[in-house]
Structure 1
């Protein structure tokens, strides 16, 4: 199976940071990620979970097409609720907003204690990273990939006994990504800088949001100009 660039980047990080043999993929959509990982021998079993019957039906079609009915199990339900009674090693939550990802994690916080997570949020990554820090989760690695003109970031994390010392810049730019800045990192943040500058131009100087936008511009300029 050929994956999109986004899903391939996620699969590569799961392969690199594999823990155990069983994955739960939350918000699985067509179950492409779990089917690929089982087919490639990265994992032995996966649960393909989604809140809606449409994606679950699409998952069933993918699973049947690849004859993996015994190894990839579709589960209908909200967030991590379908896997409460399952034996799981790793959990992937991808393709959602940062706030929704936080809500899913927070609903079943007991999973944070004993599982490795692979998270890919389309927006609101600073919200997600701050939440992870508050839950004593360490960010093991981060990936960045461009797919269909959108740049995505992926986080690999797990519980740690020591609170991590991340700051505001780490929340926005990623503690691992900002240590290993590549072309995509700069492309994303130069683009965001232009967006923020255009927003500032459209605001009255006394607008309450102007201070927030100016602060974001300063953060971005400081980061992309840092050595």
Structure 2
């Protein structure tokens, strides 16, 4: 089986590298592509493909049947972590949604925070990192991937202690240390955006202070 999504392939590689056990729960599963691929590659022995809506779950069932993985990849209907509260799960992936929604999902089930999580938020990353730091999680790895002209960030987290400053929240504590080519590309683009914004603002505009501070932060991390 092939994964055509570079984003999902990067997350699959992260799971293979940092896997804990052999049973995965994929929350907000994307046609069950990720768990089916991981099973096909021998990374996991079983997975739960979970979604809150009937439509996507039906697509997941089609993928499972097409790849003859019935009984190995189990489709479950439900909101967030609700479907797996009584299941034996080693690790959990939550990908392709906003950071604030991820916070809601994690906050609804504190009893499941002892799992290893693989998170890929489309936005709200600073808020997500702040939540993780405030709820006894530790980011053990993070990286970026470019797919269809969009750069995504993903992270591996588990129970632990970490202290993050404002730059860590914005850029990622590990990403800002790695400073990969994609990291530089993402923040150079954002720097250009911020410079265009400030050029359009008249002197004395209240937004100029925040934009100026953002420009300074980005220039510092890229230096």
Runs of 4+ in structure 1 over 4 Å off: none
User: In 1, distance between residues paired with 2:183 and 2:19?
Assistant: 25
User: In 2, distance between residues paired with 1:178 and 1:47?
Assistant: 33
What are the equivalent positions in structure 2 for 1:153-164 lying under 5 Å apart? Answer: 153-160=153-160, 163-164=161-162
CA shift in 2, pair 1:51/1:207, >3 Å:
farther
Cα drift, residue 186 of structure 1: 0.4
2:171 counterpart residue number? 173
1:136 counterpart residue number? 136
2:29 counterpart residue number? 28
Aligned residues of 1:13 and 1:143 also touching (Cα < 8 A): no
Name the TM-score, length of structure 2 as normaliser: 0.96
Residue 200 (structure 2) pairs with residue 199 (structure 1): no
CA shift in 2, pair 1:223/1:83, >3 Å:
same
User: In 1, distance between residues paired with 2:21 and 2:62?
Assistant: 26
Residue 38 (structure 2) pairs with residue 40 (structure 1): no
User: In 2, distance between residues paired with 1:206 and 1:85?
Assistant: 57
| Structure 1 gap ranges (5+) | none
What are the equivalent positions in structure 2 for 1:82-93 lying under 5 Å apart? Answer: 82-93=83-94
- Partner of 1:43, secondary structure, is coil
2:216 counterpart residue number? 218
Superposed CA offset, 1:117-163 (max 9, x none): 00001111111111111112111111211111111111001001xx3
- Partner of 2:44, secondary structure, is coil
CA shift in 2, pair 1:197/1:61, >3 Å:
same
Name the TM-score, length of structure 1 as normaliser: 0.94
| Structure 2 gap ranges (5+) | none
- Partner of 2:68, secondary structure, is coil
How many residue pairs were aligned? 222
Cα drift, residue 206 of structure 1: 3.9
- Partner of 2:217, secondary structure, is helix
Q: CA RMSD in A?
A: 1.2
Cα drift, residue 217 of structure 1: 1.2
User: In 2, distance between residues paired with 1:86 and 1:60?
Assistant: 19
